[in-house]
A and B are shown apart, each in its own frame.
Chain A
């Protein structure tokens, strides 16, 4: 095993084809832009995203016939500036993506590491929880929760966070199982280190690269799910400018003004694509480092 380790350590960084590096760069740019837009939303919006003006309903984007330079992407069915709503929608998508991943990550990683590291009965219990979670239909639960407590941003974040931990748990469990038999774990035990130290400082850093990749996947999923829930009216309540809600509100007008449904759709697609590209890039970069 040691000779394999040496052989892989020697060539240094693995080389990647140019297009894959380009794809990663694209992902970084998209996610980075979305983050900046989300943080600085109040300074970027040309108009108040909630201000209605019934005189200016369904103005097309500026490059189409009838477009106005004051509303670059036009207005929606009750005259709100579409660009401003998109910008605030980024905020909601990113907030839900990040917070849902943090919540689900905490739950899933804790369960997975504990199950994978200790094995036996503990692991059986964790596996049972994962199986239970996988047998729960997401949309159905979200529907029930919204029916019971009403819809709000916090409810959406919590629902997604409490439901999306399964992949974190599965990946943390399998990778922790691979790490637990290595000698540095035995050395830490012999050194008198506490259980918490061994799980958090010895195991976690060595499986973190896998978990980062899972986090990007889950973030893309959370953003899409929020849009789907909002589209169904189970997510973020109006008048908050969620992209899913914008698509839902626009669907009655899409035959005569197709851009009202296409604009948030394209933005949603681009952000999810960006997050996935970033995840792929991270996996490639950290994967080479993993064997050492």
Chain B
């Protein structure tokens, strides 16, 4: 079976520029991520801030070089691929539509940039494609002549989606596409993304810290912790029966509408994970409520069971 996207043991380190005397350790932002996704699926990637999910997104978009590993789209490696060819396969939708659209360009030029960069399409057909795509995301043709400053946040995000889809890519990497928007607009954008996926047969990589949003849109969910995927499962199963202690903590951190309950205690303590200093053994053990002695020594393997992946010693023993 060929997957729409295959990520094989991808690593990314950042060197830190420290003082003269004190040499600082590199940040292992993405530390051995492997997953594959069939065409038409939506993989939701969740995790707390700093867990490496945005770095993973940028690696897949080709905005950062890999330290090691390989990313394949449609069976072809992205390493060393021509920028135009990569653009035809993968397109991004960013978090903040106020910074993802160049304030000095008109909407139709922004959406037309991927087409213009390909450099093999007559100008008239480019305009047609742009207008068609804008209509599809619900932007009228007179808005195409405007500047981004004249559009609302929701409209801007629609424009960003039109730009991502104008080349009909295989993969769309959405890096928190709704978290900068008003709640009333979030649902519209999510529904638009779902609709477009069905119509155009797209595959999404959907990065978010908002579990409700991921539950709504994803077919498969990967939970990241300190640069690794610690649990991956079909969305419904993951939300119904979380296997990894970290996933359980994440799910219990969701706020309830009842203010009397306050902020939930997820039992993780207040230690913050440090990607420059990954603990030995299981990387989650210092914060894990169900950790035992061996967790500090042995690094757990990926346990695959019934289409799920769990990286926890508890899953091995049970």
Residues of A within 8 A of B (CB): 1-2, 5-6, 9, 182-184, 186-194, 197, 201-202, 205-206, 292
Would you call A186 and B103 a contact (CB within 8 A)?
no
**Candidates B63, B87, B113, B153; contact of A186 at CB < 8 Å:** B63
A9 CB contacts on chain B under 8 angstroms = 149
Residues A186 and B61 in contact in the complex (CB < 8 Å), given A191-B114, A202-B102, A292-B103: yes
Measured in the bound complex, the distance between the Cα atoms of B199 and A283 in whole Å is 48
| Closest CB pairs A-B (n = 5) | A192-B87, A183-B100, A205-B104, A191-B114, A192-B117
User: Do A2 and B63 touch (CB < 8 A)?
Assistant: no
Query: B180 within 8 Å of A by Cβ?
Result: yes
CB of B92 within 8 Å of the partner chain: yes
Closest to A291 in B: B103
For the complex, what is the distance from the CA of A6 to the CA of B149, rounded to whole Å? Answer: 9
Interface flags for B120-153 (1: CB within 8 Å of A; 0: not) read 0000000000000000000000000000010001
Complex Cα distance, B104 from A182, in Å, reads 13
14 contacts between A and B (CB under 8 A): A6-B153, A182-B99, A183-B94, A183-B99, A184-B100, A189-B63, A190-B62, A190-B63, A190-B92, A192-B83, A193-B83, A205-B105, A206-B104, A292-B103
Q: Most B CB atoms within 10 A — which of A2, A187, A206?
A: A187
- The contact string, 1 if C-beta is below 8 Å from chain A, for chain B 76-115, is 0000000110111011101111111111110000000110
* Min distance, Cβ B94 to any Cβ of chain A, angstroms: 4
A187 to B118 alpha-carbon distance, docked (Å): 14
Residues in B neighbouring A188, C-beta threshold 8 A: 102, 113
Chain A residue numbers with a CB within 8 Å of B153 are 2, 6
Residues of A contacting B233 in the complex (Cβ-Cβ under 8 angstroms): none
Instruction: Given A190-B90, A191-B114, answer yes or no on A184-B99 (Cβ-Cβ < 8 Å).
Output: yes
B100 partner residues in chain A, CB cutoff 8 A: 182-184, 186-187
Chain B residues with CB under 8 A of A183:
94-96, 99-100
A184-B102 Cα distance, complex, nearest whole Å: 5
| Contact status B99-A292, CB under 8 Å | no
Max chain A C-beta neighbours (<10 A), residue from B63, B99, B149: B99
Residues of A within 8 A of B58 (CB): 186
Q: Is the pair B103, A206 in contact by a Cβ cutoff of 8 Å?
A: yes
Closest to A208 in B: B104
Bound form: Cα–Cα A201–B109 in Å = 11
> A184-B101, A205-B102 known; 7 other A-B pairs, CB under 8 Å?
A184-B100, A184-B102, A190-B63, A190-B90, A191-B114, A192-B114, A193-B83
Could you say which residues of chain A place their CB within 8 Å of the CB of B83?
189, 192-194
A15 to B100, CA, bound (A): 28
Interface positions of B (Cβ within 8 A of A) = 58, 61-63, 83-84, 86-88, 90-92, 94-105, 113-114, 117-118, 149, 153, 160, 163, 180
Q: In the complex, are the beta carbons of A190 and B96 less than 8 A apart? A: no
Interface centre among B86, B87, B91, B117 (most CB of A within 10 A): B117
Is the Cβ of B117 less than 8 Å from the Cβ of A187? no
Q: Which residues of B contact A197 (CB under 8 A)?
A: 117
- CB within 8 A of A1: which of B99, B101, B113? B99
Given the complex of chains A and B, what is the CA–CA distance between A76 and B61 in angstroms?
Answer: 71
Contacting residues, chain B, for A187 (C-beta < 8 A):
92, 94, 100-101, 113, 160, 163
Contact (A190, B61) CB under 8 Å given A5-B98, A206-B103: yes
Residues of B within 8 A of A292 (CB): 103, 149
Contact of B163 with A191 in the complex, beta carbons under 8 Å: yes
- The docked-state distance in angstroms from the alpha carbon of A292 to that of B147 is 11
List of B residues within 8 angstroms of A184 by Cβ: 99-102
CB distance from A89 to the nearest CB of B (A): 38
Contact at A2–B180, with CB atoms within 8 Å?
Answer: yes
Most interface-central of B102, B118, B149 (chain A CB within 10 A): B102
**Quick check: B87 and A191 within 8 Å, CB to CB?**
yes
Which of B92, B94, B117 is the one whose CB lies under 8 Å from A194? B117
**From B63, which residue of chain A is reached at the shortest CB distance?**
A186
Per the bound structure, the CA–CA distance linking A189 and B92 in Å amounts to 10
Q: Which A residues are in CB contact (< 8 Å) with B102?
A: 184, 188, 202, 205-206
A202 to B102, CA, bound (A): 7
Q: Within 8 Å CB of A182, what residues of B?
A: 99-100
Distance of A186 Cα from B100 Cα, bound (Å): 8
In the complex, A184→B147 CA distance in Å?
Answer: 14
Nearest residue, chain B, Cβ from A292: B149
CA distance A9 to B61 in the complex (A): 30
